[in-house]
A and B are shown apart, each in its own frame.
Chain A
Amino acid sequence: MSTREVHVGNNLDHDLVLEGDVAIVGSGAGGAISAEILARAGLRVLIVEEGAYPTPEEFTLREVPSFARLYNDGGVRPTKDGAIAIVQGRTVGGSTTVNWTSSFRTPEPTLNYWRDHLGIQGLELEAMAPWFETMEQRLHIAPWETHNLNNELLARGAAKLGWRHGVIKRNVRGCANLGYCGVGCPIGAKQSMDVTAIPDALDHGAALVTRVRAERLQLSGDRITAVEGLALDARGVRPTGRRVSLRAPWIIVAAAALSSPALLMRSKLPDPYERIGKRTFLQTHNYSLAFMPEVVDPFSGVQQSIYMDQLTWRDGVAGRAGFNMEAAGAQPVVTMNFWKGIGSEMSEFARRLRHLHTLVSQIRDGFHPDSPGGEVHLRDDGGAVLDYPINEYIWDGVRSSYLAMAECQFAAGAESVHPACSDAQWYRNWSEARAGISALRLRSSSVFLNSTHPLGGCAMGPDPRASVVDAFGRHHHVANLAVFDGSVFPTSLGVNPCLSIYALTARNATALAERIAGRAIS
């Protein structure tokens, strides 16, 4: 292993120009897996990342400074009307560095929908299976069997109700069951990109430039000649004035939903059918709080290890909004943020934190005419904002999932349940909750909603009139550009998305490597 080539943008005292075979924007799930595959194929890979590159030893395990440093906009990037907070990583490894490790293959109904309704070929269950296997091996993805009580109670409630549920697989190696995945795994056990694919790519000759924001792709004819970036200060907020240029014959955009389409828009790439930024999905998350007679200690132990998917496809793939259910316990700031009380409501709630049980539902979107997703727009400063109005289709999903979560928590023995909504109340039993939630007024800013799964905006598909890239991630109009990240999904997924991004990227980056190298890559 030679020394790894890492340029720290905030320390640059001169403009930087790098030349290579492939330039990649973003070092998260899609960017890092691409970098590893292409570097191992013998290509000179250049990666530009807006975030910094802390090591596991530098993670503080403290919530607020970690949200400030490791997340985009402190973990609260708001949608245009402010109703939903979008949570994304902004650090080497992207969201994988702060994600909760829950690993699912893309569900069959989703893959079939893409084939049957969107004409996408080659991503069927059997075709994708080898790519899932490859990534599961690469990232040590395996079922996790030590459940904390927060997860155990989800299993208990689901079993009582006869709802299908199961054990979550996780990408960990030597996990100490600490439960701090969201602020960066302090012991490097999580197989996130910052400790796996990025170091591996660097060991195979890749160069990484941190704290530099890709501003524009330089288009010349039907090809991109360079990625132009601005070095940022140590906080990643203000440009320092230094410029960075990555020149390569092949360009991969992997800046994630919102940021990938925004980069294409800023670069004024051809978009004859105005598809860039459209169909951005959130799998909007809503939450339910319950007090249990037993001590739950939601802040310790692996956060997510049980899932419940009985209701994900409840009305058929193209029917009413379905949702999955998982546990959502975490450290105090995250957990207390679900609760919008003040004064004595706040102190009484907080003093019972050890008994708190928290569930999250993720409402799948994009499979129904009333669920077209949101649109990315550029602000005057060039940044992205997502316009995602919440319509009746989504509110129906919110109400149904509030009902299901409350039913599940009472079935698990809850003493009281409160949806994470300031207009709701504490309900003491299931029939009270059913009546209360059925009559509950649902309105923005009162219902606590966020999303750690923004997807889409550079949708894949065979038809340029309906999509931005093809099913191999190749841009429809720019010959040497590919998009390899969560922005290519044409719908949401119905499960946590990371493994789907790893597997699709592995397939598409391997195809690209073979094309560039002119030979098969094993």
Chain B
Amino acid sequence: MDSRMLLSRRGLLQAGLLGSTAIWAGGLVGCAARRVAAPAAVAPRLALSPAGEEILRAVMPVVLGDLLPADGAGRKQALDAGMASLDDYLAHLSLPLQAEALDVFETLDLLPVRVLLVGTWSGWRQTSAATVESFLRSARGSRFDLLRRMYAFLQSMSVLAWFDQRAAWPEIGYPGPPIERPAVSGGQA
């Protein structure tokens, strides 16, 4: 179903969606520190919530397509390193911006949003790549600025998570930095 129709027809969802991401979408009003470190599902995280991690682990392969390693171990390593690097990145943002990121993830993880917007009853982890892709494409072209912003946010998180990894470089012809320096973050693969 088209997310545009849903958003205009379903006042409830619209209010809920816009309401809960108003900070992220409508501007950085209010909202200083909230709970920033949530209990970790996958690895101890500083700023990336379990919901955020689950969503990004579903989105990243769709955004990056066959740039990610095809084999299971390579792919797992790419996703693990990407999440660690994003966590380190998010943990350096000001608290209001960290809270906005959490808000987006929380919203996208709400059952009504998943069902009506993404088109899945199951959690992000179980959602097929095809479903995630059609959600991303409709968000990109949406007439709602909020959805276009969500698209831009998820897409650029995926870009950040992948293209700074050594494993990404041979495929795109980037030789890497001319000087070797030790890594500073857990996410630097």
Task: Mark A residues whose CB is within 8 Å of B.
Answer: 58-65, 67-69, 73-74, 77-78, 80-82, 178, 180, 186-187, 235-238, 297, 299-300, 331-333, 336-337, 340, 342-344, 346-347, 350-351, 353-354, 379-381, 383, 385, 387, 422-423, 443-446
Contact = CB atoms under 8 A, between A and B. Distances in A.
A340 B31 CA distance: 29
Contacts of A346: 63-65, 67
B156 A343 contact: no
B98 to A, nearest CB: 8
B92 A422 contact: no
Contacts of A443: 145, 148
Which 9 residue pairs are nearest across A and B when measured between Cβ atoms?
Answer: A61-B177, A381-B32, A445-B148, A80-B27, A68-B92, A332-B163, A354-B173, A347-B65, A343-B65
B30 A347 contact: no
B67 A299 contact: no
Interface string B65-108: 11100000000000000000100111111111110000000000
A64 B148 contact: no
B128 interface: no
A511 to B, nearest CB: 35
B107 to A, nearest CB: 15
Contacts of B185: 64-65, 68
Interface string B148-189: 110110011001100110001101111101110111110110
A444 B145 contact: yes
B181 A59 contact: yes
A65 B28 contact: no
Contacts of A444: 145, 148
Given A65-B184, A344-B65, A379-B28, A446 B148 contact: yes
B140 interface: yes
B29 A380 contact: yes
B92 A237 contact: yes
Given A60-B188, A80-B26, A178-B179, 15 more contacts: A62-B181, A180-B178, A235-B92, A237-B95, A340-B156, A342-B63, A342-B140, A343-B62, A343-B65, A346-B65, A350-B163, A351-B173, A380-B29, A445-B145, A445-B148
9 contacts: A61-B179, A68-B93, A332-B164, A333-B159, A340-B151, A344-B66, A379-B30, A380-B29, A380-B32
B134 to A, nearest CB: 11
A380 B179 contact: no
A380 B33 CA distance: 11
B92 A236 contact: yes
Contacts of B35: none
A194 to B, nearest CB: 17
Contact of B173 (A68, A178, A353, A380): A353
B7 interface: no
A55 to B, nearest CB: 12
Q: Which of A68, A187, A380, A383 has the most CB of B within 10 A?
A: A68
B56 interface: no
A380 B31 contact: yes
Contact of A69 (B27, B92, B156): B92
A520 to B, nearest CB: 44
B41 to A, nearest CB: 22
A342 B62 contact: yes
B148 to A, nearest CB: 4
Nearest to A335: B163
Of B28, B62, B152, B187, which is in contact with the most chain A CB atoms at under 10 Å from its CB? B28
Contacts of A354: 172-173
B137 interface: yes
A69 B187 CA distance: 14
Interface string B18-48: 0000001111111111000000000000000
A380 B30 contact: yes
Contact of A381 (B89, B96, B149, B164): B96
B96 A383 contact: yes
A300 B29 CA distance: 40
Nearest to A236: B92
A65 B160 CA distance: 10
B188 A65 contact: yes
Contacts of A344: 65-66
Interface in B126-157: 133, 136-137, 140-141, 145, 148-149, 151-152, 155-156
A332 B89 contact: no
Contact of B152 (A186, A332, A340): A340
Contact of B177 (A62, A67, A77, A342): A62
A80 B149 CA distance: 13
Nearest to A423: B141
A235 B188 CA distance: 17
A343 B133 contact: yes
The residue among A61, A350, A353, A383 with the most chain B CB atoms within 10 A of its own CB is A350
A61 B67 CA distance: 23
A431 to B, nearest CB: 26
A241 B1 CA distance: 51
B153 to A, nearest CB: 9
B26 A64 contact: no
Contacts of B63: 342-343, 346
Nearest to A448: B152
